[in-house]
Amino acid sequence: MKFKFVLLRKSNNLTFKRSFIKMDMINRENKYKTYLRLFLMVLLISIPVFLVKAQNNDSKPLEKIWVSPQQEKIIISSSSQIAEDKTEFLSIQEAIKTLDFENSTEAKPNFGYTSSSYWCRFKIENTASVNQIRWLEIQYPALDSVWLYEVDSAQNIIQVRLLGDKMPYNKREIKDADFLFVVDLGARKTKTYYMRFRTQGTMTFPLVLWQPQAFSEQTANDRFGFGIYYGIIVVMIFYNLFIFFSLKDRAYLYYVLTIASIALFQLAFNGLGFQYLWGNFYPFNDIAVPFSITFFSFISLLFARQFLHLEESLPKIDKMVLFFVALIIMELFLTFILPYKVMIKVSSITGIVATTLLFYMGVMSYRKGYKSALYFLIAWSLFWMGILCSIFKGFGLLSTNFITTYAIQIGSALEVILLSLGLADRINVLKSQLAKKTIAEKNQKIENEIKQRYLIESQNQKLEQLVAERTADLEQKTIELQSQNQKVTDSLKYAKRIQEAILPPKQELDAILGEHFVFFKPKDIVSGDFYWISEHKEEQKTVIAAVDCTGHGVPGAFMSIIGNNLLNQIINEKQLFYPSEILEELHKGVRTILKQDYESSSNILSTSRDGMDIALCVINRKENTLEFAGANRPLWIVKNGGFEEIKGDRKAIGGWQNKGEKREFTTHSIDLNGEMNVYLSSDGYVDQFGGDGQISKKFMSKNFKKLLVDMNTKDKTAHNLENQRSTLEEVMEKWKGNEPQIDDVLVVGFAVSKE
């Protein structure tokens, strides 16, 4: 019986105790002696096995982790043993006796969302002959409680310490965003530790043993990276907030709140918010993450509605978004009521749905032709990938590593930058649309005024005829006619101011061309000649044109308006920069506007033969070339005293055209391999009558070419292009003498060289 008593003490098992009591009773009854002997033999064989199982559940030995002074950083997780406590509330003694610990193979063990507690144990041996102070870091700041037990070889508890985000920050041993325990390792000593982890969120506990100096250096590097990230966030918040106050565009306010929600999530997720902001108000930790995710889903959808103009462009999707936003508003209130373990899962699912919806809205808007949606689409795609990585890590579907740990920071930083670019592009698009609308309204107004002046001029002619027929009222009618003429003249002067407003201002010409001149002298108050310029920095191209429209005065001015509008459409809107293509499109546009392709019921083409001649060149800074195409007008180049004439095609823009004929033009390309002066003009200068003799004659192209060469060679002071303009005007006035000006005069000269 003494032997049985010893067995009972060792097993500490109530079931065995009851069995021995029953056996003792049977032993007193002689008729069961044979069965008792057999039972005792089986029991004596089985008890040692049960004793071993009860006292040492895990058959796997706990290997030592060797710590030398040279090791700055040791990954503890991969050299420890881990066990799951499904009851959640086992004590240290119960965990030691009952849990089956398994060797860990991961440096960053991750078990996703779970209601279980987890235990970890490891053994550390100091190989040095001196004491070592180490810091044990748990690299995940969102754990509710972390218990550290130090036990001796007999499994007796030596020391117990507790950390967690349910405790005030000022209670921590070492002040840091992550949890840190001080580990004092005696010389040549071995210590065994047990750790218990509980959380309502993701169960992950990467363990690292640091030298304090090495940890401080690593933390400084990490903080530098976070500083850059939060610096981007703060700059974007203030920058876009400033724009919001300037433009009063709600898209910027929603965007600022979106960035703020991302920043709040990051501060709560990586522990920096607990460290620097709400460390002593720890209950906020349970709210911060699910609230920031839910608020982000809410405000980002409002931002997308405003940015993508969903109400006008995609009304059905807009209604779906508003319904989802209403649900999220209710969810926002629930974050203050429901427990963290429920809301973190609900908010994570909401975040996935919201980002998926944002991606879908971006795709649909881009397919509808909204170009700024491309920035939106790429930005949210990157952020969406970051969120998915983080959420899948939370559910344990992805392992914990640098990418999955910082996926949201990486994605959100890229998203913030790209969306800021998208907002800037959105402003440019709106400005462009407004500018086009303003130009169209202005041009329409000018066209209407010119039509009105034209009608006034026609009425004036009728009045003159009426005066001739009514000779009896000549004096009175003459007075009336003078009054009407004055009105017409005033109107034409006003039309001149309008036409001058359409022409490129001198400041624009100075900025684009640099050294240049424009000699522009209309025959009448308004002109049928005009010059045109447009610079496209993205394409590194500048387009210059000198245009001679049919007629002069009001009809010519009306044609110049048509030509100016068509050049704006072809070059600035359609982005055509090849000279021959520009002229071909201009030809089609003139014939369409003047209905020169129109056939009546009698199959007779329109009698309108109006059109224009043009010299157009493109300065191509990418290729360092000067490209030219002309319709009945040439290009002249003076370089190093030499003269070169490049003739345009002997075809007009608009006017009569054979049926089936395809009007095509030729592009000439000149390399910019040195400084040269380039000249474009209408035919008004060379066709002007005058001269020294009794017989009046035209100035002619030959004399004009000679004049250009002389200005660039003989007269040193005329090398300056502004002086050349004065020379051209003086020569014209001297040649014309008392002869009237017969046509509008336009000469454009500019210097160009290789960059």
Does residue 54 surpass a pLDDT of 60?
no
What is the per-residue pLDDT across 502-521, written as a single tens digit (0 to 9) for each?
899 999 999 999 999 999 99
Q: Who contacts 98 (Cβ-Cβ below 8 Å, separation ≥6)?
A: 57, 90
Does residue 669 surpass a pLDDT of 90?
yes
Angle between helix 285-308 and 407-469 (nearest 10):
20
Q: Who contacts 84 (Cβ-Cβ below 8 Å, separation ≥6)?
A: 99, 111, 116, 117, 118, 119
Confidence of residue 729 (pLDDT cuts 50, 70, 90): very high
Does residue 46 surpass a pLDDT of 70?
no
pLDDT for residue 417: 78
For the chain, the structural domain boundaries read 2-55, 64-210, 223-433, 503-752
Local structure of residue 504 (DSSP, 8 states): P
d(C-alpha 193, C-alpha 80), whole Å:
10
What is the per-residue pLDDT across 76-111, written as a single tens digit (0 to 9) for each?
988 899 999 998 889 999 999 999 999 988 888 988
31 or 561, greater pLDDT: 561
Geometric angle at alpha carbon 383, from 345 and 359, rounded to 5°: 90
What is the pTM for the complete model shown? 0.45
- The whole-chain average pLDDT of the chain stands at 82
Residue 704: count of CB within 10 angstroms of its CB: 18
Q: Who contacts 125 (Cβ-Cβ below 8 Å, separation ≥6)?
A: 64, 65, 66, 67, 189, 190, 191
pLDDT for residue 19: 42
d(C-alpha 193, C-alpha 65), whole Å:
11
pLDDT for residue 30: 46
Residue 616: closest CA among 634, 602, 601, 600: 634
| H or E element that contains 205 | none
pLDDT for residue 698: 92
pLDDT for residue 716: 56
Residue 395: closest CA among 336, 334, 352, 456: 352
* Range with the poorest average pLDDT among 52-61, 73-82, 260-269, 694-703: 52-61
pLDDT for residue 80: 93
- Select 64-210's CATH number: 1.20.120.1200, 3.40.50.1000, 2.40.220.10, 2.60.40.2380: 2.60.40.2380
**Averaged pLDDT for residues 131-137:** 94
d(C-alpha 132, C-alpha 134), whole Å:
6
For tokens 């240049």, the residue is 516
d(C-alpha 92, C-alpha 82), whole Å:
14
What is the per-residue pLDDT across 413-427, written as a single tens digit (0 to 9) for each?
777 777 777 777 766
| Structure tokens belonging to residue 368 | 């509808």
Beta bridge partners of 680: 748
What is the per-residue pLDDT across 459-503, written as a single tens digit (0 to 9) for each?
777 777 776 677 656 666 666 666 666 665 666 666 678 777 889
d(C-alpha 314, C-alpha 316), whole Å:
6
* Range with the poorest average pLDDT among 92-96, 134-138, 552-556: 552-556
d(C-alpha 496, C-alpha 627), whole Å:
32
Q: Give backbone dihedrals phi and psi of 407, rounded to 5 degrees, phi first.
A: -60, -40
Cβ distance 361 to 307 under 8 Å?
no
CATH number of 503-752: 3.60.40.10
Instruction: Give one word for 716, left, alpha or beta, with left for phi > 0 and alpha for psi -120 to 50.
Output: alpha
DSSP string, 473-500: GHHHHHHHHHHHHHHHHHHHHHHHHHHH
What is the per-residue pLDDT across 184-207, written as a single tens digit (0 to 9) for each?
999 999 999 999 999 988 899 999
Q: Who contacts 621 (Cβ-Cβ below 8 Å, separation ≥6)?
A: 540, 541, 542, 755
Residue 485: count of CB within 10 angstroms of its CB: 13
**Averaged pLDDT for residues 717-736:** 85
pLDDT for residue 191: 94
Residue 299: count of CB within 10 angstroms of its CB: 23
d(C-alpha 522, C-alpha 496), whole Å:
10
Confidence of residue 715 (pLDDT cuts 50, 70, 90): low
Cβ distance 258 to 305 under 8 Å?
no
Does residue 240 surpass a pLDDT of 70?
yes
Q: Who contacts 157 (Cβ-Cβ below 8 Å, separation ≥6)?
A: 92, 149, 150, 151
Matching CATH topology for 64-210 and 503-752? no
Residue 173: closest CA among 137, 200, 198: 137
What is the per-residue pLDDT across 312-341, written as a single tens digit (0 to 9) for each?
888 998 899 999 999 999 998 988 888 887
